[in-house]
Amino acid sequence: MMKKCIDEFIWIIKRARICSMLIIMGIILLISTFLGVGEVWMQKYVIDALTHADLNLSIHLALILAVIIILNAVFSIMLRYHGILYIQNPIKRDVVDTVICNINKCPLQELKQEKKQYYIDLLTYYSGEIGEGILAKFIGCKYYIQLIAISVILININKQMFLFILILGFVYVFIGKYFTELFWKQFGRYMDKTNTLHAIIEEGLSATREIIINNRREWEKKRYGKYFNDYYNEAKRINRYGNLNFFMTNLLKWCVAFAVLVYGGYLAMQGKLAVSTYIVEYQLCSMLINSMEQAYSEIVSISSVGSKIKRLHDISKTIKNNRQTVKIKRFHDVTFDHVYYRYHEDSEYVLEDICFHIRQGMKVGIVGKSGSGKSTIVKLLLSLIYPDKGKITINGYKVQKINQKNLYSIIAYCKQDSYMFYDSIQNNILFGRTVSEKSMMDICRAVNIHEYIMGLDNQYNYLLEDRGTNISGGERQRMALARSLVGNPEVLILDEATSALDVAMENKIMGYLNELKKQGKTLIVVAHRIHNVMDSDIILVMDRKKIVESGNHEELMEKKGLYYQLVAEQG
């Protein structure tokens, strides 16, 4: 177990590229540690000089002691400051980069296997814990050095006293080990309850509007109370073990201190031990016990930090295993070849035997009743998920091999409820892209949102609230369309992207999109409203996990099948 933890430490240290800094910091650590021990030992000579009434020597020794104290303080501050700057922060940055990289590169089904709270914890709590933990373990090395140095000094002063302290020290460590094991048995349950409570709080905040509208505030209060009580009970239990451990170990520390005072005092009274040595020995014994306590604590906590690093290491392996190397410059075609997909290994397929071919410049409509699999096809097209059987190719390459960043530079996706950030309208539309203001406004005019924006306070600098709650659903959809179009994509996928618009507005926007098709753009439209796809080159009709019909509007109407029924239902 210890070897695995050390391997994880070495892995992240190499990733963060801090090996050379650790060597420099190690030298500072050694100097700081020996200055700390020397500070205590120097007191013996100052006391001896005062005892012999040698004023000049006492002043010189006191000055040397003051210099040692100042140097110790300076090196300790340097160690902590540079440790945070050159060890903790680079590691924290590497943790955050790795997690963000994983979120951006992992297929959707792999992201779904872990709750959002898992990634939030890694980005916030665990990233800090790993950085602080490694720095603490590095600085904690001074306790091992202190342990050796003080042991050598105490053996030379009084072997019996050292042996007595060593035995009590082992008893102290044994008690600490016993309570630590109890603590860690409960810690896993405590963290589970904590993560669950965080998830419940997040859900409650996200669903505030639904809770209020449906008059479920009391229900949410009881729900939160139940999970909070579970968390609180585990927190009380784990704190109980911590408090008991604190009492027992501190009682033993007091016993050690009392024994050193009594036995050392007896030796001093007998003339077998100098008073200065007695005072210094007491301080060194306290330092020895503290070093043993801290050294043991660092060893125990290595497994905690190591387990967090391992979770990060596993994520990094996932990224490497999902490397996508093929880059495509232009879109030519996409093919679904007998594709099957299911969300979980033990669940039924939600898509079965899906086959179709889309060429550049086509308009393709996907229609069907709710739950027939339309949006799942879109997710497969976007490489957010991958097929369980069959294959999907773009320009002849399997989607698993295509670089996603490159793919999304030529494909744009606009869904029914696109997310709006707490930012200005302009920043929400541009989404970090470098586009001229004129081009942005032309696109906004095309999707009939420009006049609305110009009527707002601050116009394009108008601040949207989180999720765009201060504008209507139709306005959010038109802004989302503008966002998708400013990148000048070769393929535009619309998934119910105009469902909140009235028919007249929808027809204007679809007219503009059809003009883009004439310029060679490829349109893939998922819609419940059949009139949006009637002019498509090919219409895929979904029902019960399969494509049951395909063809253009005239061909499908002649078949008088499901498409015919959908048209008839909508009048």
Mean of pLDDT values over 100-109: 63
Looking at residue 300, its pLDDT comes to 66
Highest-confidence segment of 11-15, 293-297, 358-362? 358-362
> What is d(CA 269, CA 497) in angstroms, rounded to the nearest whole number?
92
Q: Find the Cα–Cα–Cα–Cα dihedral 4, 7, 8, 9, rounded to 10°.
A: 120
Tokens 């391992």 belong to which residue? 310
Per-residue pLDDT band at 109 (split at 50, 70, 90) = low
Q: Is the pLDDT of residue 420 over 70?
A: yes
pLDDT tens, position by position, 144-167: 888 888 888 888 877 877 787 777
pLDDT of residue 83: 86
Report the distance separating Cα 422 and Cα 48, nearest Å: 70
- The pLDDT of residue 67: 92
Sign of the C-alpha dihedral, residues 473, 479, 483, 488? Answer: positive
User: Would you put residue 406 in left (φ > 0), alpha (ψ -120 to 50) or beta?
Assistant: alpha
Contact 370, 377 (CB under 8 A): no
Tens digit of pLDDT for each residue in 288-344? 877 877 777 777 677 667 666 776 666 666 555 555 677 888 888 999 999 998 887
Q: CA triplet 306, 199, 208: central angle to 5 degrees?
A: 155
Which DSSP category does 52 fall into?
A: T
Instruction: Kindly state the average pLDDT of the residues 21-26.
Output: 87
Instruction: Report whether pLDDT(113) > 50.
Output: no
Helices (H) then strands (E): counts for the chain: 21, 10
Mark 531-542 as b/e (b = at least 16 C-beta within 10 Å): ebbeebbbbbbb
User: At residue 390, what is the residue type?
Assistant: G
Prediction pTM value: 0.61
Span 442-448, average pLDDT: 87
Task: Give yes or no for residue 2 having a pLDDT over 70.
Answer: no
Average pLDDT of the chain is: 81
Confirm if 337 and 392 have CB atoms less than 8 A apart. yes
pLDDT in the model for residue 70: 92
Return the sign of the alpha-carbon dihedral for residues 190, 191, 195, 201: positive
Residue 289's nearest CA partner among 188, 161, 133, 405 is 161
Nearest alpha-carbon partner for 199 in 231, 239, 236: 231
Q: What mean pLDDT do residues 52-78 have?
A: 88
Higher pLDDT, 210 or 80: 80
- Interstrand relation of 333-341 and 351-359 (parallel, antiparallel or unpaired): antiparallel
Estimate the crossing angle of helix 141-157 against helix 127-139, to 10 degrees.
20
Of the pLDDT bands very low, low, confident and very high (cuts 50, 70, 90), residue 459 is confident
More confidently predicted of 444 and 200: 444
Query: Looking at the DSSP assignment, which residues form a beta bridge with residue 337?
Result: 391
Euclidean distance between CA atoms 14 and 297, whole angstroms:
25
CA 252 to chain centre: 41
45: which 2 tokens? 């000579």
Contact (Cβ atoms closer than 8 angstroms) between residue 414 and residue 481: yes
Q: In sequence order, what are the beta bridge partners of 365?
A: 525, 539
**For residue 101, what is the enclosing H or E element?**
helix 89-105
- Find out whether 547 and 541 touch, Cβ atoms under 8 Å: yes
Percent of the chain with pLDDT over 70: 87
Q: Which residue has the higher pLDDT, 401 or 125?
A: 401
The pLDDT of residue 538 is 92
Sign of torsion over alpha carbons 44, 46, 47, 53: positive
Q: Half-sphere exposure of residue 327, counting CA atoms within 13 Å on the CB side?
A: 4
Length of the chain: 571
